[in-house]
Amino acid sequence: MRKALIVWGGWDGHEPEQVAHVFKGILEKEHFDVEISDTLESFADQEKLLGLDLIVPVWTMGEIKSEYAKNVLTAVQNGVGIAGCHGGMCDSFRTNVDWQFMTGGQWVAHPGNDGVEYTVHLKYSSSMLLEGIEDFQVKSEQYYLHVDPAVEVLASTMFPIVPGPHSANGAVEMPVVWTKRWGSGRVFYNSLGHHADIVEMPAVTEIMRRGFIWAADGKLVSEQKNGASAQQNSYTGMVDNNY
Q: Write down the pLDDT at residue 231.
A: 54
Q: Write down the pLDDT at residue 124.
A: 77
The answer to whether 155 and 175 are in contact (CB under 8 A) is yes
> Residue 89's CB: how many other CB atoms inside 10 A?
28
Which tens digits make up the pLDDT trace of 78-107? 999 999 999 999 999 999 999 999 999 999
Q: How far is 231 from 58, CA to CA, in rounded Å?
A: 39
56 backbone dihedrals φ, ψ, rounded to 5°? -125, 100
Cβ neighbors of 9 (< 8 A, separation 6 or more) are 16, 38, 39, 40, 58, 59, 62
> Where are the domains positioned within the chain?
3-106+178-241
Q: How far is 77 from 183, CA to CA, in rounded Å?
A: 4
8, HSE (Cβ side, Cα atoms, 13 Å): 19
Q: How far is 83 from 89, CA to CA, in rounded Å?
A: 8
In this prediction the pTM is 0.93
Q: Write down the pLDDT at residue 239.
A: 43
Cβ neighbors of 77 (< 8 A, separation 6 or more) are 182, 183, 184, 185
Q: Write down the pLDDT at residue 12.
A: 98
The answer to whether 126 and 200 are in contact (CB under 8 A) is no
Burial class (CB in 10 A: 0-12, 13-18, 19+), 227: exposed
Could you tell me the CATH superfamily of domain 3-106+178-241?
Class I glutamine amidotransferase (GATase) domain (3.40.50.880)
Q: Which residues of the chain have pLDDT under 70?
A: 228-243
